Structure formats: structure tokens, C-alpha cells
């Protein structure tokens, strides 16, 4: 649908406190950047919290300026008449702590030193991100969420919300998620990390903002981006086409897929901070919903609300069997759970590329709640 939420102004909230993290360290004060779409109804029962993925941000829909080339990252989902209909729902999207998109992270000033945190920033987990989001909702005087929805790292946040704040959450919708990060996903992040560590400009995190480790971050992003795609989507988009600007037998000649990865990685360095990239990758690696519980079953026992799960057939970063592991446990515990395996050739990115394949099921699920 073409309708959008129009021009959106980011907002921020600062909390003059110290948040105790899962690591035992404390972080404070904390600033969260967020955006809202739609209107809060009288009894505050129409709130939808949208959780973003790894390098996402709070800008989920609309534009900040009429000249913006692209709208927010989930504009296809949020707006009048869309699945998250802003004529029905009050939608909130908050940037996570650890990021560089307005919320407190490694680029923020450490109040104890007056300098940027850099690698003095504490390691955060997804659960810590959710704790910080709860502070925001308390500030907004919201104590009831119709649903928490998100893909990838957003799915992890949705699950954490449902487990740790069951009194607030009426449903969760995890998309392309997992209950615990697999060794393969961790290994891909490990290679991306090494690409950054081996860049001499990284300087163990002490690079100057105007001179980031661009080569290392570009390569790290390219590695990550491969994991978001699939063999089928690469065939569809690139095939084995050789770049028209190169000779096929030039030693440094490239296939189109190589040029795409080079461009994607190169354009990323102006959009994201390297240390923030590393901290969020660490949060992904550490993710295990059963952290602090005796078992996955004990963790899932805490979930009281209905949940709607989606996995995608070609997703090899968080493949369907990882989603299905969690769904099976919920079914065994007789929890209200609904699961759909969506056929798509676009890999992990399917939730961004082909939302129309699952949005009707989201709409039907939400209609039952109102």
C-alpha cells in the first residue's frame, strides 16, 4: 500500500538511573531514541511495540524529511490501512541500548570520564535491551502492550518481553527468530569480528570517529549480509553474471554478486559505528532464552500470552527448525501458540522483502485480541 504515516519526528527519553545488566555491571544514565505512529486510545489498550533487528533503528516508518530517498525500514507494515494500522494502533519503535542510532551505546559519553565509552561500554544482552525499553514505557505511562512484534533480533526481544513481563504483554509475534543462537551463526559473527580486528585503523576500539576501520567494517557487513540472503535469492538477483565493466579474464574482475557485496559493505560504513556493530553482534551471540532458567521448558513456562511465530523456508541463519524447537516446547506446555512456515526464496531477509506473505496472518491474529 502507498499510504504512509508521513513526516515523523524522532523523540528521546533520558533516565537518570543505573540499570543493572545481566553481566552484573550497571549502565546509566540511559537515553533511548524512539518514534511513535498513530494515536493512543483512551484506555491505552492499542499499543504495539515494534522491535528492530541488528543494525536497525527506531525509524520504522514514514520519513524524517520530504526529500528522504527511503522511508523507515518497515514502512510496508506500518501506516493507515496496513497490517499495523495506525488508525487502530499506537505503534512504538525504540532504538536498543548498545546501538549508535540515538540510544546509549559505545559512541555515547561516559559520564565518569567525559569521553566516549568505546570498549568501556558494558556488554549488553537482549534481555538488557528489553529492560531499558520497559523504562520508556513507564515514562510514557503505558502498562499494557497489545503485542510485541519483530524480526530477527526483534523476535528475540519479543520473546524476552513475553517471558519477563507477562503482566504487561497480551501477545508476541516473533518473526525469523530463534530461542538460542547456533554455533554456525556465532561462527559467522566471529569471522566478521576478525575482519574488524585485523583492520589497523580499529586500534582496539580507539579509532577516531572521522577515521573508522572502514575496510574491516565493510568486510564484516558483507559477511553478515551473505547470511541474510539465500542461494535461491542470489541466483534470482545475480546468477553467474560477470560485471559488465570488467573483463572476464582480468585477475581483479568481479562477478555481479561480488560487486553487490562490495557496494553494500562500502555504503554501510557511513551509516553505522564499528564498535556498536561489535557490541550488538555480541548480544546476538549471547542470546539464549533459557539464560537464568534451568531449561528451555522452564523459560517457556513463563510465557502466558498467545504467540504467533513465523519462519522462512530459505532462512539458513535462523532456520525453521530453530523456531520449531521453541514452538514444540510451547505446544507441549499447552500454551496458546500458532506457527507458520512461509515459503520464500529470500532467506533471512524474507521478513523485510516479502511481508505480504505473512501479514494476513498477523492481521487475523491481532483482530482476535481487540
Catalytically annotated residues? 152, 315, 348
* Phi, psi values for residue 245, rounded to 5°: -85, -5
Alpha helices in the chain (DSSP H): 126-139, 153-164, 183-197, 214-228, 231-237, 256-268, 274-286, 296-301, 320-332, 350-353, 359-369
Count CA atoms closer than 13 A to 80's CA, side-chain side.
5
Contact indicator for 174, 362 with CB cutoff of 8 Å: no
Q: How far apart are CA 50 and CA 12, in angstroms?
A: 16
Q: Quickly list DSSP for 93-160.
A: EEPPTT-SSSSSSTTSEETTTTEE-GGGSPP--HHHHHHHHHHHHHHTT---BSEEEEETHHHHHHHH
Q: What is the CB neighbour count within 10 angstroms for residue 4? A: 20
Contact 120, 112 (CB under 8 A): no
Amino acid at each position: 500500500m502507498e499510504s504512509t504515516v508521513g513526516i515523523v519526528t524522532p523523540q528521546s527519553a533520558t533516565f537518570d538511573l543505573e540499570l543493572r545488566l545481566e553481566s552484573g555491571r550497571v549502565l546509566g544514565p540511559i537515553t533511548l531514541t524512539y518514534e511513535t505512529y498513530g494515536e493512543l486510545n483512551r484506555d491505552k489498550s492499542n499499543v504495539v511495540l515494534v522491535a528492530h533487528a541488528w543494525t536497525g533503528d527506531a525509524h520504522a516508518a514514514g520519513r524524517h524529511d520530504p526529500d528522504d530517498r527511503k522511508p523507515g525500514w518497515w514502512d510496508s507494515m506500518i501506516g493507515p490501512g496496513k497490517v499495523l494500522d495506525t488508525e487502530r494502533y499506537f505503534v512504538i519503535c525504540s532504538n536498543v541500548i548498545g546501538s549508535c542510532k540515538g540510544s546509549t551505546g559505545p559512541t555515547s559519553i561516559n559520564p565518569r570520564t567525559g569521553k566516549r565509552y568505546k570498549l568501556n561500554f558494558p556488554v549488553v544482552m537482549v534481555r538488557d535491551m528489553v529492560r531499558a525499553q520497559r523504562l520508556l514505557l513507564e515514562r510514557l505511562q503505558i502498562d499494557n502492550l497489545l503485542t510485541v512484534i519483530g524480526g530477527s533480533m526483534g523476535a528475540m526481544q519479543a520473546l524476552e518481553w513475553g517471558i519477563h513481563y507477562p503482566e504487561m504483554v497480551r501477545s508476541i509475534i516473533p518473526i525469523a527468530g530463534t530461542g538460542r543462537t547456533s554455533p554456525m551463526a556465532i561462527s559467522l559473527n566471529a569471522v566478521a569480528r576478525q575482519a574488524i580486528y585485523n583492520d589497523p585503523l580499529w586500534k582496539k576500539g580507539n579509532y577516531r570517529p572521522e577515521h573508522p576501520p572502514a575496510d574491516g567494517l565493510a568486510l564484516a557487513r558483507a559477511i553478515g549480509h551473505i547470511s541474510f540472503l539465500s542461494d535461491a535469492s542470489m541466483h534470482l538477483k545475480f546468477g553467474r553474471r560477470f560485471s559488465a565493466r570488467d573483463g572476464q579474464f582480468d585477475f581483479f574482475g568481479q562477478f555481479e554478486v561480488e560487486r553487490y557485496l562490495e557496494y553494500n559493505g562500502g555504503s554501510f560504513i557511513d551509516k553505522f559505528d564499528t564498535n556498536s556493530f561489535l557490541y550488538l553482534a555480541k548480544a546476538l551471540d549471547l542470546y539464549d532464552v533459557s539464560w537464568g532458567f534451568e531449561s528451555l521448558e522452564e523459560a517457556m513456562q513463563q510465557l502466558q500470552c498467545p504467540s504467533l511465530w513465523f519462519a522462512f523456508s530459505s532462512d539458513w541463519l535462523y532456520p525453521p527448525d530453530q523456531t520449531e524447537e521453541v514452538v514444540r516446547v510451547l505446544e507441549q506446555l499447552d500454551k496458546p501458540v500458532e506457527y507458520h512456515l512461509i515459503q520464500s526464496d529470500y532467506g533471512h531477509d524474507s521478513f523485510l522483502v516479502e511481508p505480504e506473505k505473512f501479514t494476513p496472518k498477523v492481521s487475523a491474529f491481532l483482530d482476535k485480541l481487540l
